[in-house]
Each structure stands twice: as C-alpha cells, then as structure tokens.
Amino acid sequence: MMQKITTYLWFDNQAEEAAEFYTSIFEDSRILEVNRYGEAGPGPAGTAMMVAFELAGQRFLALNGGPQFRFTEAISLYVDCASQEEVDELWAKLTDGGEESQCGWLKDRWGLSWQIIPQALPELLGNPDPAKAQQVMKAMLGMRKIDVSALEEAAGL
C-alpha cells in the first residue's frame, strides 16, 4: 500500500546516485523503481528521470530535474537513532563529502539537510527538573554531532 504523503527530492542529475547511497546506509531500504528519460528528453536518453526508493520502510521520490532548484535547511530529514553508535555511523557516512552543522544537523554531499538525533536527546531535554533540562540544552547548543555521554553529564547523570 502506498503511503499518502511522500517526500519528493529534486536533484540536478544525481537522483539515482543519491538513492543508491541512501539505501546502502539504512536498514530496510531499497530502490523500488527507476524511470529513465527517453529520446524525447528533456534529460539525456537512458539517464534516470525519477527514482522511487524506501529508507527504513518510508517511501521517497527523487527527480533529476536540473540545476534550477537547490536544497535548503528549511527542510531536513530527521533520523531517530537508538544509540550513540548509530549516530556516529550515520554521521560519518552522511558528512562524507558533505558538511557538519550544529546541534545534530548536517548536509550530505548533495546539500540535503539531515538531523541525526539520538533518542536520548529529547528525553534529556524533557527532564522534569528545568535546571537540568537547561544544562542539557546548553551542552547541545555547543555540539555539532550529538554526544550522548556529554548530554548525560550535563544532566548530572
């Protein structure tokens, strides 16, 4: 059954490369379909026009639409990570050729923004002691990749 709302990603000409990369780093991920340009274009015949793929069971569409539009930080993909190890692994893979930002945000090599967030972060930010929650916030604001042990230390754990 197709999901009701699907994230649609516009690439210049790297949709297939990006989909292959993304599906290689997330479990339960796969390329579903690749539609290619024909002789009528507008892209070169045989190149990917649209790529349907799933990441962790969620469907995405990627289009090779040309250079007119670029990704911005106004939209990002939020990844709920079970452990620091998962954060570290995804961070390393997604920043390879990309760039780190702050507070768990990064841009991959195509400029798509991601939030790589350990499950512990919202739990620690929701501490019932407002002073401890603020210490966690202060610690997080100084981070690029989220460090759970540093957040726990800030919370006095």
Q: Is residue 3 scored above 90 in pLDDT? A: no
Q: Tell me the sheet residues that pair with 26.
A: none
DSSP reduced 3-state for 126 = coil
- Cα gap 108→14, rounded to integer Å: 13
Task: Please write the tens of the pLDDT for every residue from 114-126.
Answer: 999 999 999 999 9
Of 2, 99, 12, the C-alpha closest to 62 is 12
Q: What is the mean pLDDT of the chain?
A: 96
Question: Can you give the CATH number for the domain in which 41 is found?
Answer: 3.30.720.100
* Domains in the chain, number: 2
pLDDT above 70: residue 1: no
pLDDT-derived band at 96 (thresholds 50, 70, 90) equals very high
The answer, yes or no, to whether residue 2 has pLDDT greater than 90, is no
pLDDT of residue 121: 97
- If asked whether residues 147 and 77 sit together in one domain, one would say yes
DSSP assignment of 85-121: HHHHHHHHHHHTTSEE-STTEEE-TTS-EEEEEETHH
Same domain, 135 and 87: yes
Domain with 83 in it = 71-157
pLDDT tens, residue by residue, 100-112: 999 999 999 999 9
Mean pLDDT of 36-62: 95
Q: Which of 69, 87, 109 is the last residue of a domain?
A: 69
Same domain, 153 and 84: yes
